[in-house]
Chain A
């Protein structure tokens, strides 16, 4: 079956521009997670969704970051006024139940110039 997909696979943007990253989870998975992978910080948890709700947004690094999920499926991570320190690989994962194993997408590599 189809796994988690993310788009775009690569994104290069200029500092100060806004970007949107998309995640399509495995069909039927109610839990969806965003992580960020960077050389300096390793793998960091950003936000999770249960259905369309995001009960805890404390993992988002700043108020420039926001995310939404619609229809209990697709999620979009938006970064406004991008900064060079936002450069990283953004990974999305989904699971059928909270706490169960998570299945990861291939990631979006974001480069801010």
Chain B
């Protein structure tokens, strides 16, 4: 089964510092990986995806993610965190064709950026 794991429930970062939100994956075949962000009482917003190609993927709001095949990881990064980045972040992997390629999500990581 296609799955992802987010080992951290919460990440705390000071504004202006770099941030990393971790994600590891377990798939059969080539992984199709996504990051979404959820602000309070809002739906999920797409940040970026990895399908193939460059291991460093750039996305919305200055976020990027690094795909590492040997470590089966897809960590989300940002060089300089903003207080407004505080939200819940979900890593996801595309499921099987039988589900219409639905998304299997990690449990989420709460990011808190302090001034």
Contact = CB atoms under 8 A, between A and B. Distances in A.
Contacts of A42: 105-108
B32 A99 contact: yes
Q: Could you say which interface size class chain B belongs to? A: 20 to 34
Contact of A102 (B46, B97, B104): B46
Contacts of A56: 98-100
Q: Would you call the interface of chain A mostly helix, strand, loop, or mixed?
A: strand
A45 B103 contact: yes
B22 interface: no
A91 B44 contact: yes
Interface in B80-107: 90, 94-95, 97-107
SS of B interface (majority)? mixed
Contacts, number: 57
A105 B43 contact: yes
Given A43-B90, A105-B43, A106-B43, A59 B101 contact: no
Given A99-B94, A106-B42, A59 B32 contact: no
A45 B98 contact: no
Interface string A34-61: 0100000011010011100001100100
Contact of B104 (A45, A49, A93): A45
Contacts of B94: 99
Interface of A: 4, 31, 33, 35, 42-43, 45, 48-50, 55-56, 59, 91, 93, 98-99, 101-107
